[in-house]
Structure 1
Amino acid sequence: MTLRKFIAKIHLYLGLITGLLFFIIALSGAIYTWQPEFSRIAFHQEIKPEEQPFISISDIKNTLEKDFPEGDFRTALYRDKESAIEVLIYVPGTYFHAYINPYSGELIHLQDMNKGWISKLKNLHRNLLLGPPGREIVHWVTLMAMFMLITGLVIWWPARGKPSKGKFSIKWTASPKKLNYDLHNILGFYATWILIFTIGTGIFWGFEVVRESLKEISGENKITWDKPISTVLENESNRNKYEILNKLIKEYHNTYTGAEVGINIPHQEDEAIQLSVIRPKAGINAVDFYYHDQYTGEPLQGNFQNGLAENRSSFSKINGLVYDIHFGSVWGLPGRILACLASLIGASLPITGFLVWWNKRKTKKKKLGKA
């Protein structure tokens, strides 16, 4: 058996073993690419803009105490004038996102983030709805999918000479068998150059050895990080911590116009207030984190692991890029469209590949029958 035939066998058997699972993972990933748009509609995040200031953190607290007292208020994300404030709430065993009108303080929508079809879609993509065991299965299927891409490229390239023009274009008027072969062979070739990035980032998430190796290479393990800490003051029992939170969120939201501003609610005595300034559509690495003492509101300085985007370590920047690359958002809307289309083609490859194998199998049986 030649090396080329051996590689073709690997490609075939890997495809037959993982085909159905890869179809589910790729198709759910293609749909989940549009999660922000789905969530905006399903969770009623659209707001009619008004010419008045946004509500304070205290107002959000009052709304939650009235409408969802069992929840533990953790963070608030202030966005543009046409979007609800997104609030993170912990409840034992799960967590919620509450969407609050930024002008009236009205609770618009309360979503258990472990329930609903968007959550199901996310878990279908991440773990096949099987929990931790399913997550491991997805990781290994993802790794084998990378081998499928590489072996597919080897098979696509002619044994002798350069690829002909027919290798790059589909003949739509061909017979069903030839058309199916072209859909697998040619669409697979084009999609591979995008799927290498989406699948590669999936491998980064799935295998700790990959992340740890990159930490070692980038020098991440040698960096000593400071921890942002508030200095606990005496006689603070009567302090209203929300006064400082209200002041900071107003100051940041007014200063960083056009940005989304998030703030956490400290739960530990020495915990600092963290504010995140997010530039929409600029990627996950376009986030600056600032820290303030929860007792005085004074800014805290230090070499923090999550600090200004420009000061982040090489590993932190790569780690932050992984999500954007995986769903194509690193290239904006065109990137997301490409990632979605490539994933849809990826989902079709197990089907067209199976049909290619099945048709060849039937042809061989006919030849043996005639013999």
Structure 2
Amino acid sequence: MKQLLHFNKTIKKIHLWLGVSCGLVASISGLTGSLYVWQPEITAALNPKLLTVAHMDTISEGTLLRTASYLMEMHKDSLTRINLPYREQQTVSLIYENGETHYHHPRTATFLGAKSFSIQFFEDLLHIHRTLAIPKIGKYLMGGSTIIFLLLILGTGIYIWWKAYGDNLKKGF
């Protein structure tokens, strides 16, 4: 009987401390994720000169591909990636090896500007959401806390609930 009481106390402590630590990680992930959901609308509203183009619906896919090809040819030695229009971004963005991002008109390829503070803010927010802004091990902490939550916290929670309400399931529900 004494061993069972000790086991129950241990299970409750495990449940408490894993719940607190995983809850903290889940809270950070939840807050950053809920802010990031609004990223396209907020950045488009704050950066209309960088991200929106008049008469975007009249730009053909061929024109867009010719513009992208021209920009790639012009900057090929220093580019790491080129992004075509997507979601709320209607311009072509070039990401350089030095980390800079420049935005260009999808029809004329004219330079519209560099990455703004609000765009950088949302990129940093996504990084925190995915890795807690901890290089190399952050993604493992996020994944590990998910697995711990799924297996250990739910398992110990079910055990604690069963011990309390196993004889009276109606009261437990």
TM-score normalized by the length of structure 2: 0.62
Q: Pick from 122, 136, 143: which aligns with 1:132?
A: 136
Amino acid at match of 1:48: A
TM-aligned CA distance change 1:21 to 1:90, over 3 Å: same
Distance 2:104 2:154 in 1: 45
Per the TM alignment, residue 163 of structure 1 is displaced from its structure 2 partner at its CA by 4.5
Which residue is equivalent to 2:67? 59
Contact residue 131 and residue 137 of structure 2 kept, 8 A = yes
Contact residue 63 and residue 105 of structure 1 kept, 8 A = yes
Amino acid at match of 2:67: D
Contact residue 32 and residue 122 of structure 1 kept, 8 A = yes
How many matched pairs?
161
Question: CA deviation digits over 1:263-317, x for unaligned, max 9?
Answer: xxxxxxxxxxxxxxxxxxxxxxxxxxxxxxxxxxxxxxxxxxxxxxxxxxxxxxx
Contact residue 50 and residue 103 of structure 1 kept, 8 A = no
Which residue is equivalent to 2:33? 29
Q: Let me know the Cα RMSD of the aligned residues.
A: 4.0
Q: Pick from 154, 159, 166: which aligns with 2:166?
A: 159
SS at match of 1:26: helix
More helix by share: 2
Between the two structures, name the one with larger relative contact order (CA 8 Å, sep ≥ 6).
2
Question: CA deviation digits over 1:190-217, x for unaligned, max 9?
Answer: xxxxxxxxxxxxxxxxxxxxxxxxxxxx
Amino acid at match of 2:79: D
Q: Does structure 1 residue 14 correspond to structure 2 residue 18?
A: yes
SS at match of 1:132: coil
SS at match of 1:160: coil
Distance 1:36 1:51 in 2: 18
Q: Does structure 1 residue 77 correspond to structure 2 residue 84?
A: yes
Q: Pick from 88, 95, 110: which aligns with 1:89?
A: 95
1:98-109 to structure 2, matched below 5 A, reads 98-109=102-113
Distance 1:108 1:30 in 2: 29
Q: Identity, % of aligned pairs?
A: 25
Per the TM alignment, residue 71 of structure 1 is displaced from its structure 2 partner at its CA by 3.6
SS at match of 1:131: coil
Distance 1:23 1:12 in 2: 16
Distance 1:149 1:22 in 2: 14
Amino acid at match of 1:59: T
TM-aligned CA distance change 1:18 to 1:52, over 3 Å: closer
Which residue is equivalent to 1:111? 115
Per the TM alignment, residue 39 of structure 1 is displaced from its structure 2 partner at its CA by 4.4
Runs (5+) with no aligned partner, structure 2:
none
TM-score normalized by the length of structure 1: 0.34
Runs (5+) with no aligned partner, structure 1:
168-371
Contact residue 72 and residue 89 of structure 1 kept, 8 A = yes
Contact residue 84 and residue 100 of structure 1 kept, 8 A = no
Per the TM alignment, residue 155 of structure 1 is displaced from its structure 2 partner at its CA by 3.9
1:164-183 to structure 2, matched below 5 A, reads 164=171
Question: CA deviation digits over 1:306-362, x for unaligned, max 9?
Answer: xxxxxxxxxxxxxxxxxxxxxxxxxxxxxxxxxxxxxxxxxxxxxxxxxxxxxxxxx
1:249-268 to structure 2, matched below 5 A, reads none
